Amino acid sequence: MTSLIRTGVGTTAARVDYGRWIADCRWCNGASLMRVGTRTFDCPCGALWEVVWPSEDILRGITRLLMMRPVENRWWAPGDSLTTLMWENGQHGIFDNLPSIAPGETLLAVTDDRVVSDRLPAIASQAMKAVSA
Average model confidence (pLDDT) for the chain?
A: 86
Percent of the chain with pLDDT over 70: 85
pTM above 0.95, yes or no: no
- The 8-class DSSP code of residue 9 comes to -
Please tell me the predicted confidence (pLDDT) of residue 34: 96
> In angstroms, rounded to a whole number, what is the distance separating the alpha carbons of residues 66 and 71?
8
Residue 17 pLDDT level (bands cut at 50, 70, 90):
very high
> In angstroms, rounded to a whole number, what is the distance separating the alpha carbons of residues 118 and 127?
18
Please tell me the predicted confidence (pLDDT) of residue 36: 96
Higher-scoring residue by pLDDT: 130, 123: 123
Chain segment 40-90, per-residue pLDDT in tens = 999 999 999 999 999 999 999 999 999 999 999 999 999 999 999 999 999
Which whole number is the average pLDDT over 30-46? 94
Q: How do strand 40-42 and strand 31-33 relate by DSSP bridges?
A: unpaired
